[in-house]
């Protein structure tokens, strides 16, 4: 399967329009259409953004791997179950932004912000 077909398949599975996906990865709808129809190949940065958005490897998009997952299924299950408000977790892991660790108070404000943002949606 060519990269364009993989991108289109991933987009369809998420029920996104080309316009929606293009906006989420910072490209034009026309560029995405060219990629999906195998008329142009995305540059590395764009390919990385698409892979990151779908949580797959670039190798999967390029057809060099049939396994879409970037991480082992057991690791992904663990990550999906992390609860960031758990004080033990905050004590064990250092959350960083722009390479600088968040203070415990910043981490708590960050979590509160995300909760408020989700409540408004």
pLDDT tens for residues 92-118?
777 788 888 888 888 888 888 888 888
Answer with the residue of higher pLDDT: 67 or 25. 25
pLDDT value at residue 92: 74
pLDDT value at residue 78: 72
Of 6-15, 37-46, 89-98, 109-118, the range with the lowest mean pLDDT is 89-98
Q: Is 17 helix (H, G, I), strand (E, B) or coil?
A: coil
Distances (CA, A) of 104 to 55, 93, 95, 111: 28, 11, 9, 11
pLDDT tens for residues 58-81?
888 888 877 776 656 666 677 667
| Residues constituting the chain | 121
Q: Is 16 helix (H, G, I), strand (E, B) or coil?
A: coil
- Domains, the chain, in order of start with CATH, read 3-62 (1.10.260.40), 82-120 (no CATH)
Percent of the chain, pLDDT > 90? 41
110 and 96 in contact (C-beta within 8 Å)?
no
Distance between CA atoms of 79 and 61, rounded to whole angstroms?
Answer: 23
The pTM of this model reads 0.56
Answer with the residue of higher pLDDT: 87 or 10. 10
Alpha-helical runs (H) found in 1-121: 3-13, 18-25, 29-36, 44-54, 58-62, 73-80, 87-92, 104-120
């Amino acid at each position: 399967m060519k990269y364009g077909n993989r991108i289109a398949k991933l987009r369809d599975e998420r029920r996104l329009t080309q316009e929606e996906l293009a906006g989420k990865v910072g490209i034009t709808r026309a560029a995405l259409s060219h990629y999906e129809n195998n008329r142009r190949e995305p540059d590395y940065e764009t390919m990385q953004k698409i892979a990151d958005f779908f949580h797959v490897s670039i190798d999967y998009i390029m057809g060099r791997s049939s396994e879409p997952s970037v991480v082992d299924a057991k690791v992904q299950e663990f990550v999906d179950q992390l609860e960031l408000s758990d004080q033990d977790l905050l004590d064990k892991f250092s959350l960083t932004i722009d390479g600088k660790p968040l203070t415990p108070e910043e981490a708590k404000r960050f979590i509160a912000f995300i909760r408020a943002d989700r409540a408004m949606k």
